[in-house]
Amino acid sequence: MTTINAVTSPSIRHAEFVKLSIGTLGSPTTVYAFCNAGAAITVDGTSYTNLGSLLGVGDVQRDIKATSDDMTVTLTGIDPANVALVLSANIKGSIVEIFRGFLDTNNQIITTPTQQFFKRYQGIISNVSINESFDIKLRTRIATCSISSSSMRRVLDNRLAGVITNQNSWQTFYPNDTSMNRVEVIQSTFFDFGAPVKQQTQTNASAE
């Protein structure tokens, strides 16, 4: 169990942090980081861009057991770089991580007695959408990027759901598993379910 010392303070300041790792989890090619704090904050060598990029983060499902709920992250498109991120980068399949950090009076992450920066969610980006509107007063376009991510549980559920229960397909994923080797034999075997049980008797003939 993680102890969050910051919540015992009479004044609680916190912010949401989002990290998009384009590429594989172990070796991402590009990392984009956003937060909804009043100024940019650097945590563990990662600089999170402040308010103006991150509009909102969906609710995190809190259950005792693992769930397959999706998460939505909304980014403003006032900065064209945010729109270009979604349009040009191969963002689907990338990793999205969401953190909550607790801040001190200087708008920095509390580090005593331990760093008060906690991961709340990690998933894989499954879908993106862009909505664009034109502000008549400002005479500029405003685009909003929404990023939907699936939890690791949903990804595993979809992977297992696509496995065909025959020997060739099964051993593509599990080469040493022989549990599906008799599927073809059983498939062509007739079973008269519900019929009375017929006992076979074997007669041994003796030679005179």
pLDDT digits (tens, 9 = 90+) for 192-202: 777 776 665 55
Confidence of residue 120 (pLDDT cuts 50, 70, 90): confident
CA distance 1 to 62: 15
Q: What percent of the chain has pLDDT over 70?
A: 69
Model confidence at 181: pLDDT above 60: yes
Residue type, 11: S
Q: Which residues contact 143 (CB under 8 A, 6 or more apart)?
A: 76, 77, 78, 82, 83, 130, 131, 132, 133
What is residue 3's three-state secondary structure? coil
Residue type, 79: D
The single residue listed with the structure tokens 């920095």 is: 108
Mean pLDDT of 62-81: 61
Domain boundaries, the chain: 5-151
Quote the mean pLDDT of the chain. Answer: 75
Model confidence at 3: pLDDT above 60: yes
DSSP type of residue 1: -
CA distance 189 to 13: 67
pLDDT digits (tens, 9 = 90+) for 8-64: 777 788 888 888 888 765 666 788 888 888 788 889 888 988 766 555 565 544 444
pTM check: above 0.85: no
Nearest to 68 by CA among 128, 117, 123, 28: 123
